[in-house]
Amino acid sequence: MTRIGNEIQGPSAYFESPPNVLRQYKKASLDTFQPTDSNTLSSAMVATAELSVITYTPSAHSMAHWAIYLRIVEGNEIQHLIYQANGDEGELELDIREADPKASSRFRGLINVSDIDDQDTIAQVKETLERQPMQNTIPSWNCQDWVMEALEALNDEMLLDEYQYQEAKDTLENLFHD
């Protein structure tokens, strides 16, 4: 393939279509490019995600519950993943649910942490959340601590930038102390 000025010459040319989807076109004529079935990656959807913290209203027997929410959009498909520390004090376990948090009668709100536009980063966020430990040996440790530590782990692994992490941390600390 050769480039003459801004024009690409040769049997095929590559163009990048937003967001970061590579499509190969065969040159049909001097001025027209057409995709072919064998060289079009249109079936490879690009996933994006929103990372948020869910806040729930307290129940009669507990304090306000927090969880991490990952809303993944791939084409027309939406996946709702809730990561939370659930269970009794000292016996908390990671609970991952596929559900829209807004469907809960205890849903209070979402605090947006980050938008993610890279499939690999989405996978890394999921892996980091899945391996975030429970600190069951600390008597007062709870779901809110798990969320804060999970966000810190995402920041440490550079899956959140420092500004996003600090904004979320400040907002959540203000909620905790109110």
Say if CB 142 and CB 134 are below 8 A apart: no
Same domain? 30 vs 52? no
Same domain? 70 vs 115? yes
Same domain? 67 vs 22? no
**What letter would DSSP give residue 95?**
E
Same domain? 137 vs 79? yes
Same domain? 51 vs 35? no
Q: Classify the phi-psi angles of 136: left when phi > 0, otherwise alpha if psi is within -120 to 50, otherwise beta.
A: alpha
Q: Which of 22, 19, 113 is nearest to 73 (CA)?
A: 19
Same domain? 108 vs 142? yes
**Residue 170's domain spans which residues?**
47-177
Same domain? 15 vs 32? yes
Same domain? 29 vs 99? no
Same domain? 34 vs 61? no
Residue 51 main-chain phi, psi, to 5 deg: -105, 125
Same domain? 88 vs 150? yes
Same domain? 162 vs 94? yes
DSSP string, 26-64: EE-SSS-EEE-GGG--TTSPPEEEEEEEEEE---TTS--
Per-residue pLDDT of the chain (178 residues; tens, 9 = 90+): 333 443 433 333 333 333 433 333 333 334 444 444 444 444 467 899 999 999 999 877 777 899 999 999 999 999 999 999 999 889 999 999 999 999 999 999 999 999 999 999 999 999 999 999 999 999 889 999 999 999 999 999 999 999 999 999 999 999 876 6
Count of domains for the chain: 2
Same domain? 10 vs 98? no
Q: Classify the phi-psi angles of 15: left when phi > 0, otherwise alpha if psi is within -120 to 50, otherwise beta.
A: beta
